[in-house]
């Protein structure tokens, strides 16, 4: 086991994938000489060469579109989009090409791209550097979407993403980049949990609290705080946003009867909406109360001095837990 930060774990995952498969190539802005603006690719150009760690001109559509061409040629490209808010110029290539080519060619052309996206807020950045665009991609069939919350998952899930013959959007919780954790670098992928599986990270009996990426830690903190008050929260780390692991969610909600979902992205049509709808459809008779969503607001990402209001924190999550439990909460008395 090695103690690694989340960025070091991703770096180790990239390195391992490149060692294992000479067809793995990296493309992105500033990923080579600089090692990435977050240093995730630090040292890789030196060790693997500029033909495999490619500093590209500044054009996101081209980063994705040329990766499509490389995939046609048999390469396994890993693209870095420097920040969440910079992905939109590449959106068309992702949605119209990457996601659809396998079906368009009746399975004859595979698009084993991994698209790494540092996402989420909480780092005091200017506009376009703190967004949570994951729902767009979850809504797009043909893509897999995952988000690790710990260094071990960051390492393992990145390797799984690169090994996957489907295209994978890999959302990195950038405010947790410096979180350290034990990582087993030697464990074979075959022993790892499936890339599409969720994980119960804290067992509980009263409420199911669902989070992913940066908010898993916040959810865990909320569970600890609630435990002090005698409330038992089961925290589920989704890990995979497409597909969603409904069996794990449903099993939990049928036990607890209550569901709270937290994410930084806005509420309307966010992951919470989809999870609420499906869990309600499939657990209606088990629910003791309506599912609760604790999310960012439906606003453009605010100036960083305001982000503490926008981002769900421990107290807002606990307020949502109170709502699910029918305890007095901030919305008590509010008419629907």
* Residues in touch with other proteins (CB under 8 A): 25, 51-52, 56-57, 59, 61-62, 64-75, 89, 92-93, 96-97, 102-110, 141-142, 144, 164-166, 196, 242-247
Shortest CB 73 distance to other proteins, Å: 3
Between 130 and 140, CB nearer to other proteins: 140
Shortest CB 101 distance to other proteins, Å: 8
Shortest CB 319 distance to other proteins, Å: 30
129 noted as active-site residue: yes
The angle formed by the CA atoms of residues 178, 159 and 161, to the nearest 5 degrees, is: 105
Between 39 and 136, CB nearer to other proteins: 136
Cβ 89 vs Cβ 59: under 8 Å: yes
Between 134 and 245, CB nearer to other proteins: 245
Q: Which of 51, 102, 128, 129 is catalytic?
A: 129
Q: How far is it, in rounded angstroms, from Cα 84 to Cα 90?
A: 11
Q: Which residues make beta-bridge pairs with 8? A: none
- Of 75, 71, 4, 79, which is closest to residue 41 (Cα–Cα)? 79
219 contacts: CB under 8 Å, gap ≥ 6: 209, 210, 211, 233, 235, 262, 317
Cβ-based neighbour number of residue 43 at 10 Å: 12
Taking the alpha carbons of 203, 297, 140, 290 in that order, is the dihedral positive or negative? positive
Between 29 and 313, CB nearer to other proteins: 29
Shortest CB 89 distance to other proteins, Å: 8
Give catalytic residue positions: 129
């Amino acid at each position: 086991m090695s103690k690694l930060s989340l960025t070091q774990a991703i770096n180790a995952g990239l390195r391992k994938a490149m060692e294992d498969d000479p067809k793995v190539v990296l493309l992105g802005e500033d990923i080579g000489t600089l090692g990435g603006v977050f240093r995730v690719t630090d040292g890789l150009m030196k060790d693997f060469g500029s033909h495999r760690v490619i500093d590209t001109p500044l054009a996101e559509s081209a980063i994705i579109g040329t990766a499509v061409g490389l995939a046609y040629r048999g390469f396994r490209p890993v693209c870095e989009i420097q920040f969440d808010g910079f992905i939109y110029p590449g959106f068309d290539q992702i949605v119209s090409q990457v996601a659809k080519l396998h079906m368009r060619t009746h399975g004859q052309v595979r698009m084993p791209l991994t698209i790494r996206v540092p996402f989420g807020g909480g780092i005091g950045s200017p506009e376009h550097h703190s967004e949570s665009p994951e729902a767009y991609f979850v809504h797009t069939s043909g893509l897999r979407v995952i988000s690790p919350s710990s260094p071990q998952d960051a390492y393992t899930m990145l390797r799984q993403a690169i090994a996957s013959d489907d295209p994978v959007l890999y959302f990195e919780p950038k405010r947790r980049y410096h979180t350290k954790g034990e990582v087993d670098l030697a464990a074979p992928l075959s022993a790892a949990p499936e890339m599409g599986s969720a994980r119960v990270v804290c067992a509980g009996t009263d409420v199911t609290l669902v989070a992913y990426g940066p908010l898993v830690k916040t959810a865990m903190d909320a569970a600890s705080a609630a435990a002090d008050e005698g409330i038992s929260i089961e925290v589920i780390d989704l890990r995979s946003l497409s597909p969603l692991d409904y069996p794990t969610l449903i099993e939990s909600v049928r036990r607890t009867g209550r569901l709270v979902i937290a994410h930084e992205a806005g509420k309307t049509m966010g992951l919470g909406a989809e999870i609420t709808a499906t869990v309600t459809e499939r657990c209606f008779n088990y629910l003791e109360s309506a599912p609760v969503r604790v999310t960012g607001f439906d606003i453009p990402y605010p100036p960083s001095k305001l982000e503490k209001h926008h981002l769900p924190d421990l107290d807002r999550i606990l307020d949502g837990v109170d709502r699910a439990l029918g305890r007095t909460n901030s919305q008590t008395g509010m008419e629907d």
